[in-house]
Structure 1
């Protein structure tokens, strides 16, 4: 083998070694990050289960604890006996034989999604963050008023915790709304990445972001902003 070929082979070996080390480091970091309490839930959080992931090793994987109500809320959890990291980024909840009950991948920081065929998508989220979101959702329920930047009310609406589709909940407009809002006619709402999103039957959506004055402004902002205020 020529010196050139030998040098290329050595370089490739070094790159592969570095890649392998990086992969192992990523998996090790994810494993450490997962230690603690998590909420396993349906996408709309109508059924939830608290899982405590531990670092102790077992013959099947790593230890975990399920709260007593898990099998009733989510029947498939009765088969879960351990957890592990597979590949670079898969969090696996597995059975006594080491087979996957459900695999999760991170879709955003601290939030993982997993699919069970014939059942749908489930969410695995840090318990504290999940409860904070639930509290935020509860605080949103009730009567709101849409006003213009000058404070002129143009519509009243009620946000409910009644499930609609997906992660959305029902919203109802009150009579005598401004024509622009009446034409939009939102029927559903949700919180998503810090935004309040109203959606119409046609799929059109308006996004609002909280500002420093405890009110929600439609984004992108305009010269004549649309603002949502509580209980007016």
Structure 2
């Protein structure tokens, strides 16, 4: 009889213990690869939030090209996690951007002191592409010669990703066809005898096509974006980094 009276109380204690354990569950460890993006633009940067101690907080790593693509990273020296909050820190250990936790796997959001809004997405979860013109004003700052304009025709973006696949030659400002890269349905591969150290070091292994832009993804996860400048030709936006052209070849 006494045992029967104790059973409801024991059940209540067990439920209370489970609820307390759930409330006390530690937040997910944020260490790992992330992608920082400036909202309303195509500017993105791959960040590595390291578990190692850094000059302030924990170590933060990113490719050198990020300094130009997203100038905000020039002031970053580390990161820390406070519960579900991820803070990117300056050299004094003060937060430059603070990203609150979100439900599910969607990107986090933060606003800088200057009013710019940024998204932080984890491991391949990309923020939605902004609605923007296919060719930006900055991309037109380097005007083509009359011969190039006649050759290229209007910069019309391909209708589908399938029409982007093929073999491309890389042209620099002076040198032409210094490297070739094959874009297949689900992969990218630099071809043998590549004479361009920049592309060889970048080592693209994947690509995707979104909002009229061709995005090459490096083996280490960072990316570069190109805009259409003619039939079968893509140019890296000068606003984001050093200009080069990918030209489709047979």
Provide TM-score, normalisation by structure 1.
0.43
* Structure showing the higher helix proportion among its residues: 1
- Structure possessing the higher relative contact order (Cα contacts under 8 Å, 6 or more residues apart): 2
* Structure showing the higher strand proportion among its residues: 1
Provide TM-score, normalisation by structure 2.
0.41
